[in-house]
Amino acid sequence: MADILYTYNGKVYVNLTNRCDCNCKFCIRSHHDTVGDAVTLWHRKDPTLEEVKAAMDAYDFSEKKELVYCGYGEPTCALENLMGSARYGKERYGLQIRVNTNGLGNLYHKKDIVPILAEVVDSVSISLNAPTKETYMEVTRPQFDDAFEAMLAFTKACGRVIPEVKMTVVDVLPKEEIEAGRKLAESLGVELRVRSYV
Ligand code: SF4
């Protein structure tokens, strides 16, 4: 069975699902089977809520303040388990909840999931990847034609109701594109974080 929780750079991550509605060119799962201390992040079958809770109960959170939903798939594709386990992590272990997402949850679920996330999520990190629709579609290869616009609208909506919202790009982008990304993020009322590509 794949690891549900894993530690990387001192942070604890939840690998909730292998489902994803993108096929990013740079996705780490096309190059490696694992990250951090996980043996593998490929599930034979996505974990149930009970399995996620059991993995949390087996983890030592004494030095941890935050639980990050990331892993080898898009966490919002498993929205029910995301919400159920995040609530559990918060209530039982006093953890802050961060979700790293591609920002396409509203398209995937065909409804506005932002108010649902806002019930328990403290921080959202949305992959901008590229500052123009053309490059975004080329790099992210999403299932939806209107993914870029939907991701921007999702970001703006999160910014209104979730305490910390950031967009991210990786540091291999040309400087001008990073700057364009920063302006775009600021126009939506959020910050841009430039993360290193590992
Ligand atoms: S959204 Fe994330 S999990 Fe999905 S393909 Fe892109 S990098 Fe990989």
Cβ < 6 Å from ligand 1: which residues?
20, 22-24, 27, 29, 73-74, 102
Per-residue pLDDT of 15-57, as tens digits, reads: 999 999 999 998 888 778 788 888 889 999 999 999 999 999 9
Percent of the chain with pLDDT over 90: 88
Pick from 15, 16, 18, 22 the residue to mutate for probing ligand 1's pocket: most ligand atoms within 8 Å of its CB.
22
Residues 36, 9 contacting (CB under 8 angstroms): yes
Distance from the CA of 179 to the center of ligand 1, in angstroms?
23
User: What are the backbone angles phi and psi of residue 176, rounded to the nearest 5°?
Assistant: -65, -35
Nearest of 119, 121, 27 to residue 72 by alpha carbon: 27
**The two three-digit tokens of residue 105, written as one number:** 């949850």
**The two three-digit tokens of residue 145, written as one number:** 């034609």
Residue 31 and residue 184: Cα distance in Å, rounded?
30
Atom of ligand 1 nearest to the CA of 102: 1
- Position 28 scores a pLDDT of 86
DSSP line for 165-197: EEEEEETTS-HHHHHHHHHHHHHTT-EEEEE--
CA angle 150, 152, 155 (to 5 degrees): 110
**Domain boundaries of the chain, sorted by first residue:** 5-195
Q: How far is CA 8 from CA 50, 142, 198, in A?
A: 23, 27, 12
- Position 123 scores a pLDDT of 98
Atom of ligand 1 nearest to the CA of 73: 3
Please state which CATH number belongs to domain 5-195: 3.20.20.70
- Position 13 scores a pLDDT of 97
Per-residue pLDDT of 80-110, as tens digits, reads: 999 999 999 999 999 999 999 999 999 999 9
- Which residue in the block uniquely carries the two structure tokens 């953890």? 95
Per-residue pLDDT of 144-162, as tens digits, reads: 999 999 999 999 999 999 9
Q: Does the structure show a pLDDT above 90 at 74?
A: yes
Q: Does the structure show a pLDDT above 80 at 111?
A: yes
- Position 176 scores a pLDDT of 96
- pTM exceeding 0.85: yes
